[in-house]
Structures are given as structure tokens and as C-alpha cells.
Structure 1
Amino acid sequence: MFKPTLLAAVTAAFFLTACDRREKTASVPAIQIHHDTAELATLIPEGAARTDKPFANSSGDFQFAVVGDRTGGLRPGVFARAMDQLNWLQPEFVLSVGDHIEGYKKDEAEIARQWDEVADLIDNLQMPYFHVVGNHDISNEIMRDYWRQRLGRDYYHFVYRNVLFLALNTEDPPTASNKKAALKKLDVSMEQYKRTVQLLQGNLDEAREFFAAEPKLGQIAEVLRGQDRVTISDAQLAYVQKALEENPRVRWTFVLMHKPAWKYESPEFEQLETMLESRPYTVLAGHYHYYEFQQRNGRDYIQLGTTGGSQKMQPQGPGTMDHLMWISMTDGGPQIANIEMAGLHDRRGPQSH
């Protein structure tokens, strides 16, 4: 961006004076040169028709976005459109809650092909993108090794403008899934499976009552719990503990994970919550492809919807949506908005397809 120098200002003033001498009838506008950009933000004419609220541009404010599951039943084109939409919105960075590829493979060539595909889409972003591990991303040790070679750590943290971000791995270590074979032995109908999945997404105490009344659903739930677990290693817990100890006075902490660990019987996650209890924090997860907000321990726990993942197995309600989460970090804490992708358009407005 061009910044006028003193010489440029003098030259401009001389030029305008010369023009004024040659042509007295010409109307020459005044030129104001500001060396401090803060002056421009407060250059408001007296009597301007405005309210007296302060500008929402505190030096500590920033905006970032979070995307939901891309896979677990990929719907082509949705995630690619999300990358375009994020460029329109211009967040400072983008976070994920996992499940970038379909995965569940041991063929390294196929694993690489799937990561190449999503990497090409993410490369269209004009700002940083932070990966979080999903069960489809790391479903075995081969995929975990590939993640580490290609992307780096599978759990990590960073601090931005005195806000701590913890990116956790709920597949630590990966757990092999034989869900299909186990369910086949139970002779499960699609409706029974869908109903059980929906119950497990809700309040666990209420779900137990349903399972007691309908034992078949309870059997399905046991299979799903056995195959769909949250695993957090002692090494990861020690890492989180150290990250928290090293950042005791951050103004907020965001915890990102794929599986909503608070919906699982996970002693490790309970330990993590104990570590967090003395600070303000927000937890963001995905996995179930259905948006759900709840408060736990006086904090916000949010399960994101999809950004391209399947919506077939989810309850068809208001939480069934492709969306981008938009978070504005303010002095008073985060302001969270959800933008449904179907309602977000560029400068051309809605287009027919």
C-alpha cells in the first residue's frame, strides 16, 4: 500500500498551488494526508447521522472459522464450495474438527491419493488451515504414520493473540473397527441402526431408558460403543497439562477434537476437564454430523454439523446442515455464529444452478 512521504506531500501542495494560480476558476479539493492510520478510523464529520456506540474493532479482537466433517459419506463439491466461501469471508485462519478423507485404508498409495484430493481443495484458501484428527483420517497405525509424515503432530497447541487453541486427537491410539461384521451378527435393520445412532447422539441417561425398554437397540448400542471409542493416551494428557501450565493467563481456551468425548464414557476426557476447570473455555467437536449445543460445567460444548459429510444417518432436524462456524474473539469472550452454506453468496448474489 502506498504511503505518502513528506516529499510527496510537499510536491502535491506545490502542484495544487501552481494550478490555482493558472486557473482561478477551477475547484480544487483539499488533500489530507494521514501518517497514522488510527486517525482514519476516527475521522467522522460533526453531525454525522450515527449512534454513539463505539466501533467494534478492539485491538484484541479477531475472527476465525471452523469447518465440520467433510467425509463419512462424502458429498462431492460441498467442501470445495466452503473453501471459496471462506475466502469471501476472510477469517484470520480456519480450524477443523476432523474427518478430511474417507480413510479406513492400509494401502499407502490410496491414502496418499485421498489426502492429495483434499489438500488441493484446502490449498485454495488464502489463510492458514489447522487440521484436527478424525477417525476417518487415522483409523490404523499406517494412517497415523502417514499423517505424521505429511502433516506433522496429531495433537498440538498454539496461542494467537493471547488465546490458547488445543487440537486434540480422540484416536490416540487408533481403534480398529469391525462394526459391520458385529452388526451383521445381530441381524440389524437400517431403521434400528439409525434410531440407535440418534439416541447415542442425545442425552445418555435418556438413551439408557430407551435401551432398557428396547433390548435390541441396547445391543446395537453396545456394539457401537465397543467399536466407536474415544482414546486419549497418557502422553497426550501430559502434553495438554504442560500446555495449560505454560499458558495460565490466556484470556480464553478453545478445545478442538473430532469425537464429542463428553458423550462417551472416557475417564481420560474427565481428567482433561479437571485440568480446564479453573479457566474460561469452549469445546468444539464433530463426528455425528448433526449440530448440537449444550452447556456443561458452565461452558459451551458444541457439536458441529457437516461441511460435506453424509447426512443420511442423522435425525432430519434443524441441526442437519452444511455450515461454517464464525467466531469473533472479543474482550468479553467469543461470539459464535453459524452460517449455513446454502445462504452464503459472493458479490454476484444468488445464482441459478
Structure 2
Amino acid sequence: MSSKHRVSGRRHMLSLLLPVLLLAHVPAALSLTPVRFAVIGDRSSGHVPGIYGRIVREIERLKPDFVMTVGDMIEGGIEDSLTIEQLWADYLELVEPLSMPIHYAPGNNDIWSDLSERIYRRYAGEPYYSFTHEFLHFVILDNSRISNSTEFSKGQIEWLEADLKQHQDALYTLVFFHKPFWNESIVVDAPDLLHEIFVKYGVDAVFSGHYHQYFSGRYDEIIYTNMGSSGGGTTPSPSGLKYHYAWVTVDEAGIHIAPIHMGSVLPWDILTAEERKLCQRLEREGLTFKEPLPIDENRQSVDGRAVLVVNNSFLPRPVKQMIKWTIPAGWQVSPEMVEIDLPAGD
């Protein structure tokens, strides 16, 4: 009897300890590995050559998990299939340096006709779709050929509601489309069909483009962000942002969005130790006055000639540069600037 009692008592103790141990291993707060992605703005409508490619290279240095666009990737509006295909081939070459996936949203310069939509599907995929990454659900909509939320096709709206309903268990849901209809609706307290759907199904963030200016807002706890130019023609913005992209981090604390000026992310080897030493030597020995500027007995400058020697004997590369004098008030120097072109070792 005594032995039986001891065994049953031990089992009872174990059954009490087990829930305590299990509870001890549940974290006090949700802990997730952050997801990081970049968002690229508009490239077309008066695009400036070279800008989009620079932004792509900066994003590649940051190594996000993936990249999103908000549309207007090519200069559209034409109806020649060969030309449109070449525009897409050129664009895909621009983003080829990216080592991570890129997800496209169509803009009005990407899809403007039935022909352009067929070509878009070949090069960029479905105009509207969704995907899930870790604890995030992404929805991409196509508003390339409409002017407000009420003009969405019945099919796309039905698909949107079904998709959002199916993925309501996602920790965060983010929606991307090109034209910021929300700027003409909820910002001025007007109704908006999309926003009503987003509120109904718990969308957390919305990204758009089209206007080539960055602006944002929070409405019914949904974060709205409009991307500006990542290469398209742009005008001065009150934000001070010109060419830019966004870096988005999502973790258990929320969605964190940081617009980044182009030129802010530099390569690791922008200046090597060897190059720094060469620069220091150049400062010491590269420019020397063989004949200094003459002065009189009162230490005042007089008309005369100063001879400057440019030395490139220790640099392993040619130097082609413009030398320009900083001229104080009351002085005259002729010429005010001169171009030098020295081969390596000269």
C-alpha cells in the first residue's frame, strides 16, 4: 500500500510540474526574425538615365530579403510590340544586379492597353496577385487603367476580398498598387472602396506611387505610404526627398518605414587603406609651387607669376582633373581654372 501510494503521488507531482515547465518556455513577448525589404518608386515619365540603376546597386548593397516596386517601370504609351518588348528587356537588365527576388506592381506606363498587358504578363507576371513571406502577406493590385476605386473590375474586387479573407491569420498584411486613389478620398474624408475593404479585413499597410513625391498618413490604423521618384521626372518636394527608395523592417513591434536618399548607401571599399595613403601623399607632394607668388617689402602681393607643379609620379593611374583657384576678394588670377591630364607615373 505504501509503495503504491508513493508511485501515484509521484505521478501527480509530475503532472503538476509539466504545465509549469511548459509555461516557463513560452516567451513573455512574441519574438520574430525581422523581415526586411526595399520599395522602389517610379522610374518612368521623364526618366533620368542612370538614376534607377544607381538605386538598384544601393539596394543590392543592403541585401534585403526581397524588393517591391510600385509601378511605372518602363516608358509606355506606344503600340509597337517590338519597342515595348525592348523596353522591358532594358528594364530587366537594370534590375539584373539584384541577388534577391523582386515583385512588381503595374503602373499606367507599364499597362495602358490590351497589347501592353499581354507583354507585361510575359515579362513581369500577373498584374494582380498575392504571396506570403514568413509571417507577412502581400497583395499586389492592378489599377493601371482606372482612375478611382469604384472602377476596379468586379473580378479583381472579388478576388481581393477572397484573398484577404483567406489570409486573415497573417500577422501583417501589406498591399501595393500604383495610383494613390487614397490621396483623393480618405485624406479629404471622402469614401473609398479599397479602404473600406482594407479596414474590414485588417490590412496593416498600403504602398503606392505615381505622383513622384513621397508622402504618408495613417487612417483607421492603416499606414499609407506614397513613394516618390526612383528615376522618373520629379519636382522639388516639401519633404526634401528627390530620388529615393524605402527600407522597410517588419518585426513583432510593427512596420517600420525609412525613406532613403539615393547616394546614402556607399560601397564598403569606397576608400581603401592604400588609396588613403596615396591621397595623403598627393596632398603632400602632388601640388607644389616651383615659383611662389611674389610679394613686396610690405608683404603685399604684386603682379607676377606663380608656377604650380602637378606631380603624378607615384599614382598607378592617370589623372584627369580640373584645377580651380579659390580667389579671395580683390585678387585676380588668370586663368581661373585649368584642366590637367597626366598619365600614370608622370
The whole-number CA distance in structure 2 between the counterparts of 1:155 and 1:345 is: 34
**Deviation at 1:234?**
1.1
- State the Cα distance separating 1:137 from its structure 2 match: 0.4
Question: Could you tell me which residue of structure 2 aligns to residue 235 of structure 1?
Answer: 155
> Highest Rg: 1 or 2?
2
SS of equivalent to 1:277:
helix
Three-state SS of the structure 1 residue aligned to 2:165 is helix
Kindly provide the CA deviation profile for residues 161-212 of structure 1, in whole angstroms up to 9, marking residues without a partner as x.
12110111112xx36xxxxxxxxxxxxxxxxxxxxxxxxxxxxxxxxxxxxx
Q: For residue 72 of structure 2, give the secondary structure of its aligned residue in structure 1.
A: coil
SS in 2 for 1:120: helix
- Alpha-carbon distance in 1 for matches of 2:148, 2:236: 21
The corresponding residue for 1:168 is 141
- Length-normalised TM-score, structure 2: 0.65
Which residue is 2:247 aligned to?
326
Q: Which has the higher contact order (CA 8 A, sep 6+)?
A: 1
Note the alpha carbon deviations across 1:294-335, whole angstroms, 9 max, x for none: 122232111111111101xx3443254111211111012111
Contact 1:65 1:324 in 2 (8 A): yes
Contact 2:76 2:111 in 1 (8 A): yes
More strand by share: 2
Worse overlay, 91-100 or 139-148: 139-148
What's the C-alpha RMSD, in Å, of the aligned pairs? 2.4
One-letter identity of the residue aligned with 1:295: R
Question: What residue in structure 1 maps to residue 336 of structure 2?
Answer: none
Which residue is equivalent to 2:193? 271
AA partner of residue 341 (structure 1) = M
C-alpha spacing 1:350/1:280, structure 2 compared with 1 (3 Å):
farther
Which residue is equivalent to 1:23?
none
Q: Structure 1 residue 152: deviation in Å?
A: 2.0
Residues 292/319 of structure 1: CA separation in 2 closer, same or farther (3 Å cut): farther
Q: Where do 5+ consecutive residues of structure 2 fail to align?
A: 1-29, 273-320, 322-346
Runs of at least 5 residues in structure 1 that lack an aligned partner in the other structure: 1-56, 176-227
| 1:290–1:319 contact (8 Å) kept in structure 2 | no
The alpha-carbon deviation at position 348 of structure 1 amounts to: 2.9
Question: Is 2:241–2:261's contact at 8 Å kept on the other side of the alignment?
Answer: no
SS at match of 1:94: strand
Kept in 2, the 8 Å contact 1:251–1:280? The answer is no
Residues 1-353 of structure 1 aligned to structure 2 (within 5 Å): 58-171=31-144, 174=145, 231-264=151-184, 270-278=192-200, 279-311=202-234, 314-349=235-270
Q: Matched residue pairs, number?
A: 239
| 2: CA distance, partners of 1:87 / 1:162 | 23
Identity among equivalent pairs (%): 29
Residue identity matched to 2:68: L
Q: What amino acid sits opposite 2:63 in the alignment? A: Q
Between Structure 1 and Structure 2, the one with more helix by share is: 1
What SS does the corresponding residue of 2:122 show, helix, strand or coil? helix
Taking the aligned partners of 1:60 and 1:89, their CA distance within structure 2 comes to: 17
How far apart, CA to CA, are the structure 1 residues paired with 2:112 and 2:271? 39
